Amino acid sequence: MSDQSAFAQDQPERRHALRIFLGTGVAASLASFLYPVLRYIIPPKTVEQTTGNVLAAHVGDLKPNTGKIFRFGNRPALLVLTADGKYHAISAVCTHLNCTVQYRSDLHAVWCACHNGMYTVDGANISGPPPRPLEEYDVILKGNDIYARRRENA
């Protein structure tokens, strides 16, 4: 061991060069192991199928002053029939921390059970912790069917 270090001291540049080669080699192999692992743990993106009309409910499914959760792509959305007979469709994913909201007939408002967030039926955040309004969708009535569609400019 002492012979080797003495030898190394005689030829510092050579030792230095070897260190760089070895270091680069080890770093390169580590990177080549880690890169695929890092890529692997992030799943591939799934395509969202929410461009077109999504069937939310049929006319007559909802009584006035009630709401219903429906599938909007792979996320839940909320269809509300207000007491005055108007349909509203909004995203049901609370902008606060992702819980699924519901319509409260007693409050005439949309409510999140997780942290007591409150929205109007068109998605505006009115009280509690939610920082942003819920996305509002267009409601389209076709015969007996009620469709929801993402707004063009949204």
Partner 1 sequence: MGVLHRVKNWLDERFGWHEIRAFIEHKTVPVHRYSYWYFLGGMTLFLFIIQVITGILLLLYYRPSTSEAYESVQYIMTQVPFGWLVRSIHSWSANLMIFTAVVHMFSVFFLKSYRKPRELTWLSGMLLLFIVLGFGFSGYLLPWNTLSFFATKVGTDIAGQMPVVGKWILVFLRGGEDVSGATLTRFFGFHVAVLPGIATTLIALHVLLVQRFGMSVPPSIEAEWEARPTERREIRFFPNFLLRELMAWYVALAILGGLAALKPWELGMKADAFAAAPPGIRPEWYFMFMFETLKFIPAKIAWFEGELLGILGFGAAFLAWTLVPFFDGGRRGRAQKLITGAGVFALAYIVVMTVYAYIAK
- Positions that interact with partner 1 (CB under 8 A): 41-43, 46, 69-71, 74-76, 78, 92, 96-102, 112-116, 125, 128-131
Give the nearest distance from C-beta 76 to partner 1 in angstroms: 5
| CA–CA gap between residue 55 and residue 5 (Å, rounded) | 78
Look at strands 102-104 and 109-112 and give their pairing: antiparallel
Q: 2-10 and 12-41 are packed helices; what angle lies between their axes, rounded to 10 degrees? A: 100
| CA–CA gap between residue 135 and residue 41 (Å, rounded) | 30
73 vs 147 by CB, closer to partner 1: 73
| CA–CA gap between residue 4 and residue 28 (Å, rounded) | 27
6 vs 37 by CB, closer to partner 1: 37
Give the nearest distance from C-beta 43 to partner 1 in angstroms: 5
Residue with tokens 């009584």: 63
8 vs 97 by CB, closer to partner 1: 97
99 vs 139 by CB, closer to partner 1: 99
Give the nearest distance from C-beta 86 to partner 1 in angstroms: 21
Give the nearest distance from C-beta 133 to partner 1 in angstroms: 11
Specify whether the CB–CB gap between 125 and 118 falls below 8 A: yes
Give the nearest distance from C-beta 124 to partner 1 in angstroms: 12
9 vs 46 by CB, closer to partner 1: 46
> Length of the chain, please?
154
